[in-house]
Structure 1
Amino acid sequence: MVMRETRDYFNITLGLMLYTFGFTVFLLPYEIVTGGIAGIGAIVFYATKFPVQWTFFIINAVLIVAALKELGLKFLTKTIYATIAVTVMLDLAQKIVELPDGTFIKLMGEGNDFMSLIIGCMLTGTALAIVFLSNGSTGGTDIIAAVVNKYYNISLGKGLIMVDLVIIGSCLAIDSFGTFPERSQKVVFGLCTMFIECNMLDFVMNWQRQSVQFMIFSKHHQEIANAIAKQTDHTMTILDGHGWFSGNPIKVICLMAKKRESPIIFRIIKSIDPRAFVSQSSVQGVFGEGFDPIKVTGKNKKKAETEEQKMEQQQAPSNA
């Protein structure tokens, strides 16, 4: 338990460092508008020069208090850590890339705004995925997306898109961003950041969560099942089958596992029965114990009871 928590905090820290690097080096110097609380902080900074990190910290503090009941202290403990860490990292990173005249170093050079946008959003999207996979959050709209993802089968990327549309669209109403065409350009760039970042987030998370199904045909099915259960902590189903040509009975192990566990499972099978016949196929989603939770809204309990009473009343005359 302690090792798992330590690993989570280590990965969260790496993710936050990557996020800070992508945001400060590739997005902030080119005044690119992004979604999330960091995007709000950037908009405020471009318009008033109020530090990004303090806008980020203040809004996150309010959201954390509001979301405490829904997400729980364990999830928000890491969010609080992430919020404080990002605030400190953004402050330090800006000091590193800031020039004496108050502007920031443009690593990609002048006129390469869109290229910088692509690289920056790929980094920030990957960073967000690392943080989420470690049971953490960078705060802000991630908290809102996590609340939605908890109750509905909506990916985190899509959840962020819905919230970020409002943030990015607000650029049209800020006169300090220049003429209407200039403001429109910022919105277009912002939509690009949203698309790239959210798709990168979903890509990395789905890649890590990808599951596979094994069908293992072997005369040593019991030994293989025992070894897999011991080494991977997975449960399996043993199916009864028989050969079409020979007619001989055979046991088939049906197993769901994470794709990253495939080498371990193949190694176990080969060490016990090198002649085993194995089928591996990718599955779109695996839900239930040990995998992703089922997230669909069920019927209201009171409504279900009312429907059940109506059915009983309709059946009463026929039963009589």
Structure 2
Amino acid sequence: MNKITNIIAQTNWKQQGKDIFFLFVGVLMYATGYTAFILPEKVVQGAVAGISALIYYTTSFPPSISIWVLNAMMIIIAIKALTPQFVIRTVIGVTMLSLCVGFLQPFFTAHPIITPGEDKFMHVLIAALLCGTGLGIVFTHNGSTGGTDILMAVFNKYFNISFGRAMQFIDFTIISSSYFVFHSVETIIYGIVFTLVVSFMLDFVVNGSKQTVQLLIISKEYQEIANNVSGGMHRGVTVVEGKGWYTKNDVKLLIILAHKYELQDLMIIIKQIDPNAMVSQTFCHGVFGAGFEKIK
């Protein structure tokens, strides 16, 4: 038992070290997009970073400080709705983000890589790609940058509202408030475009690498299909006894789990052996275990 406990502890420490490293990488990417592109172009996004940007545009108060202060205030207010693990991850993520923004903002002010207003749409797009990818890396490695995450935890505990709707409402409210500062509908549109691209990239990074397919196959040639998939592609195949209710005949149902990029090879094998096979295809966000992603 002690040996197993030690192995688990060592694995946890390695995983935590890996998560912190990638958390820093993700936060650095997000901070780069935020300080090098968003702040110079005076675009307002959602969440705490958007509020901090609005404060900076109107008062010149450093966003690195307001990001940390606003998140700290929300954690204190919502502490009863948050788990200790969530609080720890959030404090680490927010502190990293504040430090990165605090370092990079004066750096890009002294060494700008863009000319504000020259190609604003492209700059917003690049920022969204960087920020969305950065957030995806953070979430993939069990991190948190605070902000909307804290509010989501509160909404989820006390109100009957989905994460998506709550996030959309909060972000749209923050972005729309930029009109009172700039009196520009164009600024609102840029903020919405930024948010949409960030959401897309976030989903792509979090789910894209994990996406798998599940095939349910009914065929008289089930043995040959199973042998070719198992022997040729080294993929596991599960055979389930079934019965066709219309024909009242016994059938064999093959269940195959594979990575998305293996789908084409699977379909070629099935088509070559039995073009009339019945195939049901389902995309999965993630499969964990032997041959797939390890359970964290």
For residues 237 and 107 of structure 1, the distance between their equivalents in structure 2, rounded to whole angstroms, comes to 55
Shift of 1:161: 2.4
For residues 10 and 119 of structure 1, the distance between their equivalents in structure 2, rounded to whole angstroms, comes to 23
2:119 maps to 1:118: no
Residue 162 of structure 1 aligns with an amino acid whose one-letter code is F
For residues 138 and 195 of structure 2, the distance between their equivalents in structure 1, rounded to whole angstroms, comes to 18
For residues 279 and 81 of structure 2, the distance between their equivalents in structure 1, rounded to whole angstroms, comes to 38
After superposing the two structures, state which structure 1 stretch, 146-155 or 89-98, moved more.
146-155
Shift of 1:80: 0.9
Aligned residue pairs, count: 259
Partner of 1:207: 208
Q: Tell me the C-alpha RMSD between the 2 structures.
A: 4.1
For residues 148 and 195 of structure 1, the distance between their equivalents in structure 2, rounded to whole angstroms, comes to 21
2:173 maps to 1:166: yes
Contact 1:137 1:143 in 2 (8 A): no
List alignment gaps of at least 5 residues for structure 1: 226-230, 243-248, 291-320
- Using structure 1 for the length normalisation, give the TM-score: 0.66
Contact 2:207 2:285 in 1 (8 A): no
Greater radius of gyration (CA): 1
After superposing the two structures, state which structure 1 stretch, 126-135 or 139-148, moved more.
139-148
Shift of 1:59: 0.8
Partner of 2:92: 81
Residue 18 of structure 1 aligns with an amino acid whose one-letter code is M
Contact 1:33 1:168 in 2 (8 A): yes
Q: Percent identity?
A: 29
SS of 1:98's partner is helix
For residues 139 and 215 of structure 1, the distance between their equivalents in structure 2, rounded to whole angstroms, comes to 41
Partner of 1:130: 137
- Using structure 2 for the length normalisation, give the TM-score: 0.70
2:63 maps to 1:56: no
Partner of 2:81: 70
What's the CA shift string for 1:114-164, capped at 9, x where partnerless?
A: 2101110111112112211222211111332466579989565x5532211
After superposing the two structures, state which structure 1 stretch, 63-72 or 121-130, moved more.
63-72
Partner of 2:7: none
Contact 2:49 2:67 in 1 (8 A): yes
Task: Decide whether aligned partners of structure 1 residues 212 and 159 sit closer, same or farther in structure 2, where only a CA change above 3 A counts.
Answer: farther
List alignment gaps of at least 5 residues for structure 2: 1-10, 244-249, 290-296
For residues 201 and 149 of structure 1, the distance between their equivalents in structure 2, rounded to whole angstroms, comes to 20
2:105 maps to 1:94: yes
Alignment of 1:255-266 (within 5 A): 255-256=256-257, 259=260
